[in-house]
Structure 1
């Protein structure tokens, strides 16, 4: 509570000191929200509103943009679904999506996805962002934060008509995430939520065909763009993407972007967007470090602060175990756990790419179908690997923390930490791959002579002791060699 009060004190300002968020409609707007309604955030759309940039840098993109044709917006699909088809009874202590002013098209998609009640972070975030406020949220994986910022963003775009003077390559909402897998997952969730709205979702990630991504950008308007920082900068610097009409900007996993060294690139991107008083900014992070809060102060205006405690995420649905085992016996233990129990969908985490590669090679050699996910694996292969894992063709997915972020696969029964993570937060992210959506799961960590020191900080973070036990002899039997 002391931390939360301190954070709110940092951001609390008098009303007279607040920059006024523009509420004047764009040239094509024809309606104004009545008193008491959620008033959509309506930013000014003009190049002068962007933060300082050199005139030379602006001239080239504008010229390139002028050469591109304007195209008519595709007709909105007819939707005969009615809100009466989505009946959710009020329940004490729970917030329904019905309790917010959401469009029937968006509610139809939420109904299809089977989400009657909001998660805690969704309920808290939407209460602020649907009124146009900036927000920063602390939440671990699996809390529903992606849907929280997507529902808010989609509502903003539906309530505010797009400007008449609009070109290809001008997204109205921008979502930046640190890894390719997370971008792909967010874009998929966005496509699911927008399927009845007529809004277009695009994703830009490195490691995939640049020309294919460019063709989709030239074929239709871009409403929501989800991207990694590097690939987005490539498109921006080539004059293919222009960010001066961004109404909503979302930064997901800000702490991870700091760790991966992406913040200089993110700064370059943000300079191309409207000033912070003229766009809505949502920032999410697993931790509120001093560096993260400094970024929040620079990029947001009087943000609502929402915190979901990590103890709620390392939940009771995940049964946690630790085996004390010598480093030389770790592979035998891993093989026997999978083979003797006939597990069919397991994620194994290791700290280094070379460890991931060796584990995958050994499992494959010993007759267990496995694949690896690390920074060395090309994006096209990553997508094929994930599909194989989802379909059950691959039993074991071995990954580093960077590659493991954003992987959401239903039915992962076990997560195995071959090596304990050096950062306690990564432990919570790892075990969050199982026990999702109320199902049960199990995590097993191997604590050896080289990484047992990492266990106490993990226990401190999750607020509980994890029993450390010796593996039974049958799990340390020699691995039978295949001929």
Structure 2
């Protein structure tokens, strides 16, 4: 498959399969081909003629609030930390962050997060992207791809100073993700990694107060913008955000954006950014379907293709079980599993929003603190609910696949598939919510008469048989009535 991809992009085999390149010195922005391209010869630019400026892009028509101002940034945190405080011994088969000669301000943040060595996706992706190359990456969920593209972005922004004049609403880096939860999670990781750099991170998501998001844009420059496609288009079409200074663009979970019908919106957004030869583009996807690769070919220039093939599709840290149970007994089984085992942090997945709502209502009625995470829940409430779940105030989170995709919470002990997903890939993402960061976890799936058909494709994807058991009688006891 990898050879076919290389051929598709017309790349020499050694350029893709070569090992991680650890630069001995940080390359200049000119060497890296990254996009302060004002001095680039016209002959070297993309052959496509430049697109006409949109109404929002015409400087004479931009709002006074967006008027250009002298460059100023958030004051960096000043301290006495040095690289000597971050000692990591070389280890065979491992790549250190030190091997990439990253900016000390970024290394300080990485040190605070406790990450001495790169994950495989980080080691391979950074070997290309820190040189300014476009990249397409595929890896399991929870492998560190978010940090990989954030480190690339932060390095670029620290190495290349912003223009002396810029609009308040002109981000230098743009990250597009399909769900609100994923945007919030990426922004949280970005805030941690930019802690000492003075760079500003902003988020635009639907379902939250538009004016509040606008006020943050008016208060400070935007260096890294993380957004869902719809809300970003809202800001762009109103002339509040201009994308003509984007140096690095990231499309995260491209396969999910395809599934959710976001690609027409993404195309509109990309047309507002510099041409693909004048920006660095990174695309990440859980799967490399033909549709994903066609998009990548349109939006990237000679990308490095990085695939991290897991030994198993799902983490070995997750113990998997399937209970054969009648649909009418599923709730009893769920209630008894949680109460009899005294589980304190559980995720329950169902296929439809009405199922999620019904499960959450029944658990709450029966004395178990629960909350739902679906498209029907307002965004401000979803964020508060997620924090309550992290802090242990909520015992059970019930979610749909779309809402659950961006949830990264440590110490989730169990994932329950109340209904089996029709797409086997969703099963992998679901059970990946547990067993994270080296911890062990357990997934339990309920296979009823309405969804047992979904089990064989899951087993085929997993490359293994999952034993189907009958639940013991004590797990099917009636739920006690609350007075």
TM norm. shorter chain > 0.5: yes
Is this contact kept in 1: 2:65–2:218, CA < 8 A? no
Is 1:103 paired with 2:103?
Answer: yes
Partner secondary structure for residue 348 of structure 1: strand
Offset at residue 79 of structure 1 (A):
3.2
In the TM superposition, what whole-angstrom CA distance separates every residue of 1:262-303 from its partner, at most 9, and x where no partner exists?
A: 000000000000000110000000111111010000000111
2:297 paired residue number: 297
Is this contact kept in 1: 2:70–2:164, CA < 8 A? no
1:221 paired residue number: 221
Partner secondary structure for residue 306 of structure 2: strand
2:244 paired residue number: 244
Is 1:376 paired with 2:376?
Answer: yes
Is this contact kept in 2: 1:313–1:432, CA < 8 A? no
Pairs within 5 Å for 1:70-109: 70-74=69-73, 75-109=75-109
2:440 paired residue number: 440
Tell me whether 49-58 or 345-354 shows the greater mean CA deviation: 49-58
Partner secondary structure for residue 62 of structure 2: helix
| TM-score (ref. length: structure 2) | 0.92
In structure 2, do the counterparts of structure 1 residues 38 and 81 end up closer, same or farther at CA, with 3 Å as the change threshold? Answer: farther
Q: Distance in 2 between matches of 1:51 and 1:310?
A: 42
- Superposed CA RMSD in Å reads 2.2
In the TM superposition, what whole-angstrom CA distance separates every residue of 1:191-244 from its partner, at most 9, and x where no partner exists?
A: 000010011100000111111111111111111000000000000000010001
2:180 paired residue number: 180
1:320 paired residue number: 320
2:37 paired residue number: 44
Is 1:420 paired with 2:420?
Answer: yes
| TM-score (ref. length: structure 1) | 0.92
Is this contact kept in 2: 1:61–1:242, CA < 8 A? no
In the TM superposition, what whole-angstrom CA distance separates every residue of 1:275-333 from its partner, at most 9, and x where no partner exists?
A: 00110000000111111010000000111111122545511111111111111111110
1:344 paired residue number: 344
Partner secondary structure for residue 225 of structure 1: strand
Partner secondary structure for residue 436 of structure 1: coil
In structure 2, do the counterparts of structure 1 residues 364 and 39 end up closer, same or farther at CA, with 3 Å as the change threshold? Answer: same
Structure 2: tracts of 5 or more residues without a match: 14-25
In the TM superposition, what whole-angstrom CA distance separates every residue of 1:135-171 from its partner, at most 9, and x where no partner exists?
A: 0011221011000100011101111111112110000
Q: Distance in 2 between matches of 1:242 and 1:319?
A: 47
Is this contact kept in 2: 1:44–1:278, CA < 8 A? yes
1:6 paired residue number: 4
Q: How many residues align?
A: 464
In structure 2, do the counterparts of structure 1 residues 130 and 111 end up closer, same or farther at CA, with 3 Å as the change threshold? Answer: same
Is 1:68 paired with 2:66?
Answer: yes
Is this contact kept in 2: 1:415–1:431, CA < 8 A? yes
1:400 paired residue number: 400
Is 1:126 paired with 2:119?
Answer: no
Is this contact kept in 2: 1:311–1:463, CA < 8 A? no
Offset at residue 41 of structure 1 (A):
1.9
Offset at residue 259 of structure 1 (A):
0.5
Q: Distance in 2 between matches of 1:400 and 1:443?
A: 16
Structure 1: tracts of 5 or more residues without a match: 16-31
Is this contact kept in 2: 1:119–1:143, CA < 8 A? yes
Tell me whether 58-67 or 156-165 shows the greater mean CA deviation: 58-67
2:361 paired residue number: 361
